[in-house]
Chain A
């Protein structure tokens, strides 16, 4: 067991080095050895992937490595992403070496011979490295073809395949971090917030929060799920959002009303904070007598239309959320003086607008409030 773990250590180092200029010192023999090690580990993964103790030992070792590297905060993990990655560690190594311009001519030549020996090389039980690489290339073309010949961004973000994939990856990563205890997941998320394009990140978080409870990622080899359910990941995200008001404000600002309504319905703990934000935004607006509309003082203030939009969306949500929202609005209206006349309290005007909107909607649907329902 110990030798296996050491093997894993050495391979991880190898993998990290394989994308640096250090490979210029590698001779063909080194290349061959590296590939052999990768193959060995892949074989181990295949044989012991279901074997609880061995798997756990390997995972723990990987987590150790990450802790030593200072956690996830530093950027892309130079080594293996997770235990499943062992299943294709040879592909990982091969691709890094192939891309590395620092590799010497003789070594590169040898590498290519090893990776692509030509036809007639078949392995009875396992897929050869050549086949794996060819299949990766084929799948990439497939994604490319579908992306540019049939894919349309789904207006419901949570059903969009690109978004879903990113969300699944995020949830999976959160799980790993949780297990590795390399750092609190919150810190990990904060580091991502600083590094990644924020708009996309926010969307991914929203989609992740809307994922159905059980959705394990497809693996090439079947593995029993010894992990906790992905629902844990959502909890982590909610917790983090609640703990980072700046992020949450951006979250509520950037995402469309409908999406936020869905998220808040699904995760009720978010609704008080969301409503709080909306209230704050509302209070920043004042009534412009001349124009006859509610306006903000600064450019980044949320305009009336958007505010109205969000409240409207929330009111279309099923109870208890809908009721909470209406109650909150009524409370604000009461605090302002409980006016019925427009132009004095934004909450009055909002409630009026919402009721009118609802009335009009019922008319459109053919339901007049005067008639009793059939």
Chain B
């Protein structure tokens, strides 16, 4: 408690100084500085109130003799009064100073003075005299007409901005850049007041003909903050303009998304989808510049976490939401695919972007082979020198979970000889960094496993032990991590689809999941599979039931 009060005294001195410098915030510098400190000052006011409410009027004055001055200075700064709840907290603080029973003239004067300040906050008409006389003459009190007045002023300014935007070189109606900048500064404290929304929207959407940015960075930051905390609702076009004009805001929006994903429950794609849709980023990404920045951030995150499966899952869900949003855009406004994926061959991009739902099921195998060929070409072709080599191709591929996850399933479903193309695709997906030889080796191993699984599926009974043997060479030190993971997933797929799979499923998993990491991986796999089936409309009640049960059981274990 003592420490708190010492802090408060220090802060008090600091803010007293600041307020004196800011005065009525009538210059560019004082306005900017005030805007930077609005949130902190409000915090200080809250702390002040908490301290003051415990004391009676006389004690307050003993403890903070200049408190009246501090509060008055704050009240005369319109930026402070306009911000969030500051005016309310100031009023609370002032109320703490009122003496219930003034004993002397000094105390009476103080009461009177406080009344004056309260009036100033709530009722004093700092307005055109003529307007005041007119409204009074008609019999209206400020509360009657202030909402309407504010609305008219906001709409008028918004339409001036729009005209400025459309008329460009018509100098008669031009808005001076200083005036636009001034308006943007003024919006900073008011950002969460809904009446101001049309003006904020106009400021974001309309830009004059100046080559450099006129709007103040603190304006962009304030709007972005309000959007992320859902304290303002703007149309999508305004949000896109914000992110295009102010890159740090876009980056912050992405980081905000990442934070939410990290702190939420692991391995739940449905929740990830919610967060992503909620963030408005997929719709914004329909604009290629935004897509590229977002994609870059995903790429960095992937590289930093060394290919963490959660990031891959996020990228997949994001891309899916993005493609959905893209579909909804009007055809005329659509950009060419090349602008989103500049380093990819157009044919590859086009086939990857196709929704599996749009292709008849019988053709999925064919499509996957086609994808595999195109990718292999890109990966193994050294002469074109596509940027980043195999990693870029892999990064592109993993965007499209609909296809990537499907490969193993398709391989298991067909009884025929597994096509090399698909083996290659599978090996590439799980081990992008492998050299040619290693990949070839993996392909051989996978083929062997598939063969065994096929044989097992024909036999009448399954045993967990058999499956483990097939896998495993699981204790075999030959097998590197990517191949191990691949084979695990093949087995899991098999368990889900084989008619007798449910009998041995739990045993197999118990044997497989000897570390917490692998358990999480299995959970992720099951969650992703269910999510994918749901999306693609793959109906298999038995498999689904099994997957759900396993998932539920595993989740209780971690």
Contacts and interface: CB of A to CB of B under 8 A. Distances in A.
Most chain A CB within 10 A, of B95, B111, B136, is at B95
B216 interface: no
Interface of B: 49, 53, 78-79, 81-82, 85, 87-88, 91-92, 95, 98-102, 108, 111-112, 115, 118-119, 121-123, 126-128, 130-131, 133-157, 179, 182-183, 185-186, 189-190, 193, 195-196
Contacts of B121: 137
Nearest to B185: A149
Interface stretch (A49-57, A108-116, A299-307, A332-340): A108-116
B115 A108 contact: yes
Contacts of B115: 98-99, 101, 108
Nearest to B161: A150
Interface of A: 72, 75-77, 81, 84-85, 88, 91-92, 95, 98-99, 101, 105-106, 108-109, 112-113, 116, 118-119, 130, 133-134, 136-147, 149-152, 154, 159-162, 164-166, 168-170, 173, 192, 195-197, 200-201, 204, 217-220
Contact of B156 (A91, A105, A160): A160
Given A118-B49, A146-B183, A196-B134, 9 more contacts: A81-B141, A99-B119, A101-B115, A112-B118, A139-B150, A139-B195, A164-B156, A165-B152, A197-B130
B146 A136 contact: yes
B137 A196 contact: yes
B85 A134 contact: yes
Nearest to A132: B143
A85 B137 contact: no
Contacts of A152: 179
Contacts of B183: 146, 149-150
Contacts of A164: 152, 156
B149 A105 contact: no
Contact of A218 (B85, B128, B147, B156): B147
Contacts of B142: 136, 140
A217 to B, nearest CB: 5
B149 A165 contact: yes
A106 B111 CA distance: 11
A29 to B, nearest CB: 15
A180 to B, nearest CB: 12
A265 B183 CA distance: 36
A150 B190 CA distance: 14
B323 to A, nearest CB: 39
Contact of A143 (B99, B149, B156): B149
Contacts of B82: 138, 141-142, 145
Closest 3 CB pairs of A and B: A141-B82, A77-B139, A161-B152
Contact of B128 (A76, A162, A192): A162
Contact of B138 (A101, A134, A159, A170): A170
Contacts of B139: 72, 76-77, 81, 173
A151 B199 CA distance: 12
A198 B185 CA distance: 37
A200 B130 contact: yes
Contact of A141 (B81, B130, B156): B81
Contact of B95 (A112, A142, A160, A219): A112
Given A98-B118, A112-B95, A146-B186, A92 B143 contact: yes
Given A76-B136, A142-B196, A218-B147, A147 B127 contact: yes
A168 B87 contact: no
Contacts of A218: 147-148, 151
A88 to B, nearest CB: 5
Contact of B145 (A72, A151, A161, A169): A169
Given A196-B134, A200-B134, A204-B134, A81 B122 contact: no
B155 A142 contact: no
A81 B145 CA distance: 11
Most chain A CB within 10 A, of B79, B122, B135, is at B122
A118 B79 contact: no
B92 A95 contact: no
Nearest to A164: B152
Contact of A98 (B79, B108, B123, B153): B123
Contacts of B130: 197, 200
B87 A138 contact: yes
Contacts of A99: 115, 119, 123
Nearest to B151: A218
A111 to B, nearest CB: 10
B73 to A, nearest CB: 15
